[in-house]
Amino acid sequence: MRIAIANDMFMAVEVLRRVIAKIPDCKLAWIAYNGAEAVSKCAADTPDLILMDVLMSSMDGVEATRRIMSQSPCAIVMVTASVNRYAAQVLEAMGYGALDAINTPAFGDDGLLIKIATIARLIGKSSHRRSPPVHHSKSLPPLIVMGSSTGGPQALRTILSQFPQDFPAAVVVVQHIDAQFVQGFATWLNEQISMPVQIAIAGASLQPGKVLLAGTNLHLVMRPDLTLDYDKEPLDFSYRPSVDVFFRSVAKHWTGKGVGALLTGMGRDGAQGLKRLREAGWHTIAQDRKTCVVYGMPKVAVELKAAVEVLPVEAIAPACIKFLS
């Protein structure tokens, strides 16, 4: 896999260069010291992955991401000093198609190594391969579960902003995003929507009118007592938390009324899980091609006939409200 670096800090460039040198079958494609240079170099020589800083001279990483994804798209991970400090910029870049965000390695590079390996599997640059309806219960609140990846933050804002503060359903979201950035993501969402947003903790119960976000680099799962928990198993998934793992656990244990939605994102995660939800009697929705930043996960769901409806992002919230009313 060919990896490029876009960063105007020489020390950060050297750290990232050393990380790339450690990875078998990966090599440095080029280095750009500002956003404009990154756009130009990507147009002339598109790499498999760009490690993109947020703040750079001449042109920042957000605008560079927007232009690259429009002109010569490739996988982009935002790598910056503090993803939480620059949460708004990072989320804007993810809205343009950046896959993820992570802090620049300081005292260890395991997180970035894992991130790069995950991206390699998603874009096909790795040899790794991934391996009856129930009755609704009147005692449980309605539940909406959503999974998303590339472009997910903006899609989630569009959907969740249409739910009122006293919305009678519980909502759980699995977004492919690094654990160190989840708090910034939750803070940003709280500023955008009327429903309160919290990071799910082990043992959390589902409450109407509240949004819970998967909050670690482990899988979010539902236990038989209908509380949420985190689990390192199964290990053989490109992303942790995995939408598939969560959806499957919900299909197995939740006996109330529910809607499952699979949103924009690269890869296949969530498609099989959405199918399990449909088989368990859930109303299932896939985001349509036109409104997806990357039509990957929903596309697979449609191919598997996992979705009852295929809708533009702005129509998903009304569909949820209609089904649950």
d(CA 297, CA 54): 27
DSSP-assigned beta bridge partners for residue 147: 174, 262
Asked if 61 contacts 81 with a C-beta cutoff of 8 angstroms, the reply is no
Whether 135 is catalytic: no
Whether 58 is catalytic: no
User: Degrees (nearest 5) of the Cα angle 17, 241, 128?
Assistant: 60
Whether 269 is catalytic: yes
The string of DSSP codes covering 196-263 is -EEE--TTPPP-TT-EEE--SSSEEEE-TTS-EEEE------SSSS-HHHHHHHHHHH--S-EEEEE-
Question: Beta-carbon neighbour count of residue 224 at 10 Å?
Answer: 8
Catalytic residue among 8, 53, 100, 149: 149
Catalytic residue among 8, 48, 269, 288: 269
The torsion defined by the Cα of 145, 242, 288 and 252, in degrees rounded to 10, comes to -50
d(CA 117, CA 68): 22
Active site residues: 149, 176, 269
